[in-house]
């Protein structure tokens, strides 16, 4: 798999290459519609008909998706939901056991968050673990297993599944993107995963995915993870190109929240790069610009700020960090968990100390 970096990113050029997973994405969308739009509207006679159909033709996934949507809605709305829950679970087990690589299985891993019993959750989880440990030749099986297992705290197994999916289908950018996002989440949660080589791996996968995407909105969604991973991997020239491109686009009034956040992150990246180069004044200037674009919507990404703050504090520049986090704290309501965390850091900074800047669950 070719992981060369994007050419001429600073000029705003983006590759326009066909994405291998678009067909699978369409199937996923169709099954979500059957589950959440069509299924809940079924009449009882239709439900009976579909159950009879599946008894004779169990592979008819469209009918099964409609039934599952009906039972799911009934379980949530009925005063006596147990029968509906049991029916939904029966179909859910069949899908994971018999068609784990299907679009319906993918839809279930992404969207089903029910209050069903712990025993039912354990059964579904065990089935997906079996899929993860299988020797399937279908990368979609591993991709679906990874999505389910990740949100149920089987992170190591989910990552292994995505690596297996990439090995089976190295040209599909979905697996590279999902693996990169999982690894980035690991970095947020665990300091031991914040090594430069870890971010370099994330950047390679994201770059590969970006170059095979055709939709501008999807490309935009990857810009910030790419900027973050390049910066923290020490790829200063690449990160600076991304940041410069973002700042050149500025804040879009029609997409103010997202574009303001991008500008905020670009200034943080440039501050990080300047700090790495020992250019303290330039770093402080970008950090000041970043503080001007702070908003409640900046919350999702503490990791940049934590890494940058640690670098400044280690160099003895407490005042720069103190000013930034004072601005950051003012975003949150009094008593908010994020504000309390920041106030703890400010207290240590005020004494001339070095906070840990633990961002594991700050956002």
Which domains, from first to last, does the chain contain? 215-363 (1.25.40)
Supply the mean pLDDT for the chain. 83
Helix (H, G, I), strand (E, B) or coil at 351: coil
Closest CA to 310 of 226, 198, 199, 194: 194
* Residue that wins the pLDDT comparison between 296 and 26: 26
Query: How far apart are the C-alpha atoms of 234 and 5, rounded to whole Å?
Result: 14
The pLDDT of residue 12: 28
Q: Can you list the alpha helix ranges (DSSP code H) found in 34-150?
A: 44-56, 61-77, 82-98, 103-111, 118-133, 139-150
Number of continuous H segments (helices) and E segments (strands) in the chain: 17, 0
| Residue 10: C-alpha distances to residues 36, 216, 255 (Å) | 42, 16, 21
Q: Kindly indicate the confidence band of residue 128, based on its pLDDT and cuts at 50, 70 and 90.
A: very high
Mean pLDDT within 284-306? 73
* pLDDT (tens digit per residue) in 349-358: 989 898 888 7
Distance from first CA to last CA of the chain, Å, rounded? 34
Q: Find the range with the poorest average confidence among 60-69, 109-118, 151-160.
A: 109-118
| Residue 359: C-alpha distances to residues 186, 187, 315, 347 (Å) | 11, 10, 20, 17
pLDDT over 70, % of the chain: 87
- Any residues with CB less than 8 A from the CB of 200 and at least 6 apart, and which? 229, 233, 234, 235
| Most confident option among 9-23, 54-68, 176-190, 205-219 | 54-68
Helix (H, G, I), strand (E, B) or coil at 335: coil
Q: Kindly indicate the confidence band of residue 295, based on its pLDDT and cuts at 50, 70 and 90.
A: low
The pLDDT of residue 215: 77
Please give the backbone phi and psi of residue 101, each rounded to the nearest 5 degrees, phi first: -95, 10
* Residue that wins the pLDDT comparison between 13 and 212: 212
Q: Kindly indicate the confidence band of residue 61, based on its pLDDT and cuts at 50, 70 and 90.
A: very high
| Most confident option among 97-106, 112-121, 220-229, 303-312 | 97-106
Tokens 């979500």, residue located: 32
| pLDDT higher than threshold 60 for residue 113 | no
* pLDDT (tens digit per residue) in 141-196: 999 999 999 877 788 999 999 999 999 999 999 999 999 989 988 887 777 787 88
In three state form, how does the secondary structure of 201-232 look? HHHHHHHHHHHCCCCHHHHHHHHHHHHHHHHH
* pLDDT (tens digit per residue) in 223-233: 888 988 998 88
Angle subtended at Cα 304 by Cα 180 and Cα 327, rounded to the nearest 5 degrees: 145
Q: What pTM, to 2 d.p., does this model score? A: 0.75
């Amino acid at each position: 798999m070719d992981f060369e970096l994007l050419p001429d990113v600073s000029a705003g050029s983006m590759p326009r290459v066909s994405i291998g997973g678009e067909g699978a994405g369409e199937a996923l969308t169709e099954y979500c519609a059957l589950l959440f739009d069509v299924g809940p509207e079924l009449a009882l006679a239709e439900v009976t008909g579909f159950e009879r159909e599946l008894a004779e033709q169990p592979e008819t996934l469209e009918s099964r998706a409609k039934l599952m949507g009906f039972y799911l809605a009934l379980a949530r709305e009925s005063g006596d939901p147990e029968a509906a829950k049991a029916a939904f679970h029966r179909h859910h087990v069949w899908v994971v056991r018999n068609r784990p690589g299907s679009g319906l299985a993918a839809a279930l891993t992404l969207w089903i968050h029910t209050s069903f019993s712990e025993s039912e959750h354990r059964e579904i989880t065990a089935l997906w673990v079996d899929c993860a440990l299988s020797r399937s030749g279908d990368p979609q099986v591993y991709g679906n297993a990874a999505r389910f297992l990740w949100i149920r705290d089987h992170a190591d197994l989910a990552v292994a599944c995505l690596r297996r999916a990439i090995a089976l289908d190295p040209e599909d950018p979905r697996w590279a993107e999902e693996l990169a996002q999982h690894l980035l989440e690991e970095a947020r949660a665990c300091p031991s995963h914040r090594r430069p080589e870890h971010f370099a791996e994330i950047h390679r996968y994201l770059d590969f995915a970006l170059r095979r995407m055709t939709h501008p909105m999807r490309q935009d969604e990857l810009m910030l993870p790419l900027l973050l991973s390049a910066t923290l991997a020490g790829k200063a020239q690449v990160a600076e190109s991304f940041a410069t491109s973002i700042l050149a686009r500025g804040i879009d009034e029609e997409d103010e929240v997202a574009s303001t956040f991008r500008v905020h992150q670009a200034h943080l990246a440039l501050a990080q790069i300047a700090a790495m180069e020992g250019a303290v004044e330039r770093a402080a200037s970008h950090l000041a610009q970043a503080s001007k674009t702070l908003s409640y919507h900046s919350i999702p990404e503490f990791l940049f700020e934590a890494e940058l703050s640690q670098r400044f504090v280690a160099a003895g520049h407490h005042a720069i960090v103190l000013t930034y986090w004072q601005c950051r704290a003012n975003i949150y309501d009094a008593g908010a968990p994020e504000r309390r965390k920041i106030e703890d850091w400010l207290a240590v900074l005020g004494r001339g100390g070095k906070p840990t800047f633990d961002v594991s669950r700050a956002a």
